[in-house]
Amino acid sequence: MQRLTYDYYLPEVLGNYGMQQLGNYEGYSEVTNAGVAIEVATAALRFGHTLIPQVLRRLNENYKPFILGDVPIAEALFAPDKLLFDGGIDALIRGAVTSSLMGEILDEDTTRTLSPNFRILPLDLISIDVARGKDHGLPPYNAYRIYCGLKEIKSFEEFGDLTENGINSTLFAHSFDNIDNIDLLVGGLLEKPVGGGLVGPTLWYERSEVFSADQLKAVKSYSFGKILCNNLDESGLMLENPFVFSLEAPRCFTMEDLNLAAWKDQ
């Protein structure tokens, strides 16, 4: 899981500059705080909610549209039958690895119509995220800009220049009244993404005490795509890095498998 997170997922989220700032693993440090900051858990990681697609694509073993069609996200919540029947998890994973990134930061499905079937009122996921930040007492967006060494914004017009598409400063001012009332989550989501990006070491797998050199080599040669191949019922083609779309998907049998011989008792 650490390899998938640091070698596949984080590079797409943080971009090249962010990964350079993170640096390479240099060994365990007992003085490093391995805890998760409340700002990360409560606000920053909620950016994933902006990646929720409106529709879950389903593809057959030939990566063609599934005969029963796709599944609207609102119908997929609390619906385990979608994972068991009608193509199951295989069709959903094939659809996920070939789906493009959401074009909008937020859409109606995450702010108005995201509702489990047994609920009457729709679930506004983003409003819940904003309220969570307030409940945890997070300071406003501007306070975190200062903390991170960025320029403090003085007006809504100035804030608009920082956003990807330029917000309507008049409407934004009406919603927040004061520039210092902008929540961390809201401000963070509207910022222009870093180039190439989307926005605890104690048990780290590269430690020599965890794996031998041969075991570590085996782990690093085992791609995310091969993991999916080994867990799907019908696996023909699969992207080696499912987070990056490519028109060239190798066949599963050509990808290197996990060499379990490295764990064989000598």
What is the number of structural domains in the chain?
A: 2
Burial label for 185, CB within 10 Å (0-12, 13-18, 19+), is: buried
Listed residues 199, 230, 252: the one ending a domain: 199
Listed residues 199, 215, 245: the one ending a domain: 199
Contacts 24+ apart (CB under 8 A), 207-210: 207/27, 207/28
Note the pLDDT of residue 203: 41
49 assigned ligand-binding residue: yes
Q: Please state, as a whole number, how many other Cβ atoms lie within 10 Å of the Cβ of residue 149.
A: 6
Q: Identify the domain containing residue 132 by its residue range.
A: 35-199
If asked whether residues 106 and 216 sit together in one domain, one would say no
Q: Which two tokens stand for residue 145?
A: 């800009």
CB 40, CB 148: distance < 8 Å? no
Whole-angstrom distance, CA of residue 182 vs CA of residue 191: 12
If asked whether residues 43 and 126 sit together in one domain, one would say yes
Listed residues 151, 181, 199: the one ending a domain: 199
- What distance separates the 2 farthest-apart alpha carbons in the chain? 71
Note the pLDDT of residue 162: 78
Residues β-bridged to residue 249: none
pLDDT band with cut points at 50, 70 and 90 for residue 200: very low
**Quick check: helix, strand or coil at residue 251?**
strand
Tens of pLDDT, residue by residue over 4-48, are 887 878 887 777 777 777 777 777 777 777 778 888 888 887 887
If asked whether residues 123 and 253 sit together in one domain, one would say no
Tens of pLDDT, residue by residue over 84-141, are 777 788 888 888 888 776 655 565 655 565 555 545 556 677 888 888 888 888 898 8
